[in-house]
Structure 1
């Protein structure tokens, strides 16, 4: 079985940078914890926030910001409402 996996990996066509950037677009998302001091980088339209808050952003597979909230559960619920499958990113 290991030889079969190795053969698939060796013969797979690599994705272009553009293909990789669109992988999972519109169907995958991830939740990212961030500090209030970093919010303006992802959400430039956000009002000034109290420093030191832990917030959660729901981001599309390509990193596009979708929603900012104060709870991870709310971010996951929003993904569910939008029929997005959340994935773990390490």
Structure 2
């Protein structure tokens, strides 16, 4: 399956297809982080982070750079995809 086929999947299809194999990186502000990562209690407002998320949207990792998040995905043998 190539990228063109991925962009036509609805969220449920993407989740089933990619769980355990596909992840995506999402830039998040510190205000959003405490919702996605409940163990993180407080961060300075306005900070930017990069979250590595599973196909189902479950948080895997929080990093200070997109490069670090993608590198972690590769280490875990996860294919990263871009969501539009």
Q: 2:53 aligns with which of 35, 53, 59?
A: 59
In structure 2, list runs of 5 or more residues that go unmatched: 1-10
Aligned with 2:17: secondary structure? Answer: coil
Which TM-score applies when normalising by structure 1?
0.76
Rg larger in 1 or in 2? 1
Aligned with 2:49: secondary structure? Answer: strand
Which TM-score applies when normalising by structure 2?
0.81
Give the superposition deviation at 1:22: 1.9
Cα pair 1:23 1:62 within 8 Å, conserved: no
Q: Distance in 2 between matches of 1:18 and 1:72?
A: 25
Q: 1:41 aligns with which of 35, 46, 49?
A: 35
